[in-house]
Amino acid sequence: MAFQKVWVVAEAFEGKPLSATLELLTKARELGATVEAWCWGGDVEAYAAGLGEYGASKVYSVGDVGGVLPGVPVAAAMAEAVNGGNKPDAVLFSTGYDPRDIAGRLSAKLNVGVLSNVVGLAEDGTSEHAVFGGTTVVRAAFSGDTPYLYLVRPKSFAAEPGGGGAATVETVSVPDAGAANGAKIVQRHVEERTGPKLDEAAVVVSGGRGLGEAEKFSMIEELAKLLKGAPGASRAIVDAGWVPYSYQVGQTGKTVKPTVYIACGISGATQHMVGMKGSKNIVAINKDQEAPIFSIADLGIVGDVHKVLPKLLDALKNRS
Amino acid sequence: MNVAVCVKQIPDPATPGKLDPSTKTLVREGKLILDDSDAYGVEMALQLVDKAGGGEVTLVSMAPNSEVSGLRTALAMGAHKAILVSDDALKGSDALTTAKVLAAAIQRAGADLILAATESTDGYTGTTPVQVAELLGLPSVTFAKHIEVDGSTVKVNRQTEAGFDEVECPLPCLVTVTAGVVEPRYPSFKGIMAAKGKPVEELKAADLGVEVAVGQQVTDVAPAEERQAGEVVVDEGDAHERIVQFLEQLKVI
């Protein structure tokens, strides 16, 4: 089917739309005649123009949701619009913390499925998914009622402005969602971050089990800092509690496509590779010559991270 | 306090996955194991019930061929009982159908708190838990990295893009846990022996009143574009120089 209207669930941070949102708007523009965005929070007016520039003709603002997690109220407002006759053919969500909640809620409310981990989307609505560590591409299609819900992995599409004007903002009230709307945010904690974000950095340096112990992750952070990049991690060391989940690169975790990805002490489980094999250049350091990571590395160093990294850090420090 | 934990039994992630060429669904033959991601929820449930001074941990799972290997692992950790929905009619079902089955099983078990992993290791759609919450009309908190129960309120530190949020939610509710929320125990020998005698109730979708309707199909499976291996250097004390050179070529430094 050809899409007539596509909705994008938009996210913003500090008054600016996220790049994942702009990617979805660009794709939606390619797919549908009309692109509309859904937002929440107090500062929608501030970035509505930015959404318009990437193709949204209208922005539905659910407004400040009163300190609750947005999944329930935003999905409730969207479902009410759909049930009232304002029905898109498809809704695109990025695979983020809040959009995933909204997608799950909306899916159950409307009794329509969700296709998750989408990395490609054709005009006829067929989606592409990378499975088995990115070695296999699966295509899937909906056969039931619209709207079709797609949860898209960030960085699957390029973001390009479409020269549209400022989108009109329509304020939408949230219907009473009852007990389900009970999860309240009582305090936000913003962790201090220096350097670029993991999924936006031009250089990503990741560490894995080969580092041996949690303290050695400081070498990864130091190398990332010297290269003005971001530190990342394999699932193994996130599960072991060495670093928080937000560092995780892989199937469960973030997809990164930096100019250079440096994998240190990471063997290359399929789980990890699917999240980083789109990197432009891959450097791998691992003492096991048979490690799968070498099969996709542009430069593979068969060696001990505990020997190679300190020397690399010194060499880079001596340059600056 | 009674806690229900959604657990998935999956093919061992260490062995490469396969798709059935005719049905285009994941081949799930042979022994399935407890998804590692679910061990955190099981452990958390055991600790919370312990702290609350009593109650039961019930596992709910959907799996083909009456598979119980993974459930036995979680029962050996200390969970009290399990509900398994195993039904050929559910083959290839999507996340929403799975959620309908799990929601109905949870309703049957009765729970003050429902725990699940943020996403499974094999399918990783990551939508099922929230769909379960919506179907049950319950609030949910996803991506928990710390959980405490205080009377009739659950307090969660929820991972966010920028850090974390402290979230409070009245019970009953559903919480999804990330790895590292707690350190899962290994089943003891005594636990493994005890698990063999613990009750596992097996049901069909129809027993729960769930109608199976799948609204999405895999249409095509193809190999992805291969990435080639490049230069391999065996470190003899100077491999870091080659890395510096490589970064220079790319104008990263």
- Of A14-18, B160-164, B204-208, highest mean pLDDT: B204-208
pLDDT beyond 70 at A204: yes
The answer, yes or no, to whether residue A71 has pLDDT greater than 90, is yes
Query: Contacts of residue A308 in chain B, CB cutoff 8 Å?
Result: 235, 239-240, 243
pLDDT digits (tens, 9 = 90+) for B56-100: 999 999 999 999 999 999 999 999 999 999 999 998 889 999 999
From the candidate CATH numbers 3.40.50.620, 2.40.37.10, 2.40.30.10, 1.10.260.40, the one assigned to the domain spanning B3-208 = 3.40.50.620
Check pLDDT > 90 for residue B238.
yes
Whether B224 has a pLDDT exceeding 90, the answer reads: no
- CB spacing of A108 vs B167 below 8 angstroms: no
Q: Considering only the beta carbons, identify the residue of A135, A178, A238 that sits closest to B137.
A: A178
Omega of the bond leading into B172 within 30 degrees of 0 (cis): yes
Q: Can you give the pLDDT at residue A320?
A: 67
pLDDT of residue A239: 86
pLDDT for the residue A134:
77
CA–CA distance, B227 with B243 (Å, rounded to integer): 20
Rounded CA separation A196/B86 (Å) = 47
Res B91: pLDDT = 86
pLDDT value for B76: 98
> With bands split at pLDDT 50, 70 and 90, how would you rate the model's confidence at A195?
confident
The answer for B 154-183 residues in CB contact with A (under 8 A) is 158-170, 173, 178-180, 183
Contact B6, B61 (CB under 8 A): yes
> What domains are there in chain A, each with its CATH number?
3-181 (3.40.50.620), 203-319 (3.40.50.1220)
C-alpha to C-alpha distance for B174 and B59, rounded to whole angstroms: 14
Give me A140's structure tokens. 């899937």
Mean local confidence (pLDDT), B3-22: 85
Instruction: Report the pLDDT value the prediction gives residue A52, as an integer from 0 to 100.
Output: 95
Q: pLDDT over 70 for what percent of chain A?
A: 100
SS (H, E, C) chain B: CCEEEECCEECCCCCCCCECCCCCCECCCCCCEECHHHHHHHHHHHHHHHHHCCCCEEEEEECCCCCCHHHHHHHHHCCCEEEEECCHHHCCCCHHHHHHHHHHHHHHHCCCEEEEECCCCCCCCCCHHHHHHHHHCCCEEEEEEEEEEECCEEEEEEECCCEEEEEEEECCEEEEECCCCCCCCCCCHHHHHHHCCCCEEEECHHHHCCCCCCCEEEEEEEECCCCCCCEEEECCCCHHHHHHHHHHHCCCC
- Predicted confidence at residue A104, as pLDDT, reads 98
Nearest CA in chain A to B143: A97
CB-based contact A139 B220, cutoff 8 Å: yes
A79/A38 Cα distance (integer angstroms): 12
| pLDDT at residue B17 in the model | 72
Chain B residue numbers touching A104 (CB-CB < 8 A)? 127-131, 133-134
B250 CB neighbours in chain A (<8 A) are 259-260, 281
Mark yes or no for CB contact A319/B142 under 8 Å: no
Q: Domain ranges in chain B?
A: 3-208
Q: How many CB pairs under 8 A join A and B?
A: 279
Secondary structure (3-state) at A167: coil
Asked if residue A101 lies in contact with residue A68, where contact means CB atoms within 8 angstroms, the answer is no
Residue B162: per-residue pLDDT: 81
- The predicted structure's pLDDT at residue A237: 94
Q: Which residue has the higher pLDDT, B198 or A253?
A: B198
Q: Which of residues 95-154 of B touch A (CB under 8 A)?
A: 95-96, 99, 118-119, 121, 124-131, 133-135, 137-143, 145
Residue B24 is predicted with a pLDDT of 75
Question: Residues of A numbered 240-279 whose beta carbons fall under 8 angstroms of chain B's beta carbons: which are they?
Answer: 240-241, 244-246, 251-252, 259-260, 262, 269-271, 277
Sequence length of chain A is 320
Helices A19-31 and A44-53: crossing angle in degrees, nearest 10, is 50
Q: In this complex, which of A108, A185, A244 lies closest to B165 when CB atoms are compared? A: A185
For residue A125, the distance in angstroms to the closest alpha carbon of chain B comes to 11
ipTM of the complex: 0.92
Cβ–Cβ < 8 Å for A115, B215:
no
Mean of the per-residue pLDDT values of chain A: 93
Of A105, A296, A309, the CB nearest to B134: A105
Cα(A184)–Cα(A191) distance, integer angstroms: 20
Q: Does A103 touch chain B (CB under 8 A)?
A: yes
- Asked if residue A4 has pLDDT above 90, the reply is yes
Say yes or no for a CB contact (<8 Å) between B216 and A130: no
Contact of B116 with B129, CB cutoff 8 Å: yes
Q: A108: closest CA among B113, B213, B99, B211?
A: B99
In percent, the amount of chain B with pLDDT more than 90 equals 75
Q: Which chain B residues touch A304 with a CB distance below 8 Å? A: 235
